[in-house]
Amino acid sequence: MQISVSDYLRLPELSPLFLEGDALSVLRQFPGDSLDCCLTSPPYWGQRQYEGGGIGLEGEAHQFIRNLLEITKEIKRVLKPTGSFWLNIDDTYRNKSLMGIPWRVAIAMMDEQGWTLRNGVDWNKHKGGLDSSKDKLRNVYEPFFHFVKDPRNYFYDDKAIRANARKSVVKNGAVVSATGVSGVRYKRQLELSTALSEEEKRAALRDLNEVLSRVVAGKVSDFRMIIRGQQRATHSESEHVSGRAKELMTKGYYFLFYHPDGTLPSDVWDILPEDSQKRKKHYAVFPEDLCQIPILATCPKGGVMLDPFCGTGTTQLAALKNGRKSIGIDISAEYLQLAHERIDEYTKQSLGVLQLFNE
């Protein structure tokens, strides 16, 4: 017997809950403010016939957009105030025109439903489908949007997705930052500067030595110094637009500090699609690797992921591997059966590894 969503949310087990049915109808039965994160890739408009029908088969693009917006409205209702929504959706050509569907959906979500768009990611698939066109470029990327329900209060674990920071070292008695900044060049530029007053030079040297001492102590892994007359202000040279430009004008210098835990991933993700030749029945290219950053950064440990178009359960499998609970909805009983099989296979493999480890 299928348990309810409310009962599942109270269970400690991480095994996913799969629900069969139309996404909109099923979501309307969920309690509000109950889930941590949603990650989904809905059927793209007019691109393929999925088993069980459903969204994506509308005759006009605007009908597809309106139907999808009904679902995003429910997703916003069921997410906690701290929740995030990651939406992967590709575009479609009609009469030689790219329809702009991903951005039409995104803009409508912001304008009509109050979502905040934090990132627009380009998923670079490296390879696209067969394309015999002679009058346009190959299509090899898909938009991937990160929305939040409350921009002042959403969960985001940046440390979980940062690259390991390189450390400073000492060479020939001088401290050198992670990318080779020793301070010698900056000191020389300050000494020879004609754009700074003597008082500004003294202040700049004093602050530079303080920064270098923080590098030695391991409190700063890397930095840059912007000096009036030597380096251009970052972003803008207008003090009316940039606070850094104003600081450069009034003070004569400023510092840029790199995060000690490493750098955040960029908004271009180089991830190969799922190999559909190794999958049964379901041909969507949504890969597990695409789930990693959304799960680690925006779903707390022990939290609950949602995928209202889960197909064969890629989001659920990735959530389980990362210690998160999840709920998957799909209109196709056949796809859900394949999802169950994938979860069961992973669970058996994990138990086998654990038994070997304990022997």
Of 153, 151, 149, 150, the C-alpha closest to 73 is 149
Q: Is the predicted pLDDT of residue 352 greater than 70, yes or no? A: no
Is position 144 within any domain? Answer: yes
Phi, psi (degrees; rounded to nearest 5) at 288: -60, -40
Is position 7 within any domain? Answer: no
Q: Provide the greatest CA pair distance for the chain.
A: 80
One domain, residues 23 and 92: yes
Dist. CA 73–CA 299, nearest whole Å? 20
Across the chain, mean pLDDT equals 86
H-only helix segments in the chain: 5-10, 23-27, 61-78, 101-113, 184-192, 198-216, 243-251, 289-298, 314-321, 333-358
Is position 108 within any domain? Answer: yes
One domain, residues 194 and 271: no
pTM: 0.79
Give the percent of the chain with pLDDT over 90: 59
Is position 4 within any domain? Answer: no
Which pLDDT belongs to residue 213? 86
Buried b (16+ CB within 10 A) or exposed e, 146-172: bbbbeeeebbeeeebbbeeeeebeeee
Dist. CA 105–CA 256, nearest whole Å? 37
Which pLDDT belongs to residue 240? 47
- In terms of pLDDT, which residue wins out, 243 or 159? 159
Domain harbouring 140, CATH code: 3.40.50.150
Give the percent of the chain with pLDDT over 70: 82
Is position 49 within any domain? Answer: yes
One domain, residues 109 and 194: no
Q: Which range marks the domain in which residue 320 is found?
A: 13-160+264-358
One domain, residues 153 and 95: yes
Q: Determine contact, residues 290/121, Cβ cutoff 8 Å.
A: no
Structure tokens at 222: 């890397």
One domain, residues 102 and 120: yes
Number of folded domains that form the chain: 2
One domain, residues 127 and 237: no
Of 266, 261, 318, the C-alpha closest to 292 is 318
According to DSSP, residue 88 is labeled E
Structure tokens at 17: 């809950």
Of the residues 206, 225, 257, which one is the last residue of a structural domain? 257
The predicted-structure confidence for 285-312, as pLDDT tens digits, reads as follows: 579 999 999 999 999 999 999 999 999 9
One domain, residues 247 and 305: no
Is position 3 within any domain? Answer: no
Looking at residues 343-358, what average pLDDT do you find? 74
**Least confident among 168-172, 192-196, 329-333:** 168-172
Q: Determine contact, residues 35/64, Cβ cutoff 8 Å.
A: no
One domain, residues 231 and 321: no
- In terms of pLDDT, which residue wins out, 63 or 359? 63
The predicted-structure confidence for 70-85, as pLDDT tens digits, reads as follows: 999 999 999 999 999 9
One domain, residues 186 and 39: no
Q: Which pLDDT band, with edges at 50, 70 and 90, does 42 fall under?
A: very high
β-strand pairing of 97-98 with 268-270: unpaired
Dist. CA 170–CA 212, nearest whole Å? 11
One domain, residues 23 and 77: yes
Q: Is the predicted pLDDT of residue 241 greater than 90, yes or no? A: no
The predicted-structure confidence for 104-132, as pLDDT tens digits, reads as follows: 999 999 999 999 999 999 999 987 666 77
One domain, residues 130 and 188: no
Q: Determine contact, residues 67/25, Cβ cutoff 8 Å.
A: no
Looking at residues 241-266, what average pLDDT do you find? 80
Is position 111 within any domain? Answer: yes
Is position 100 within any domain? Answer: yes
Of the residues 228, 257, 286, which one is the last residue of a structural domain? 257
Which pLDDT belongs to residue 239? 46
What totals of helices (H) and strands (E) does the chain contain, helices first? Answer: 10, 14
Of the residues 222, 257, 292, which one is the last residue of a structural domain? 257
Buried b (16+ CB within 10 A) or exposed e, 206-234: eebeebbebbeeeebbbbebbbbebbebe
One domain, residues 40 and 104: yes
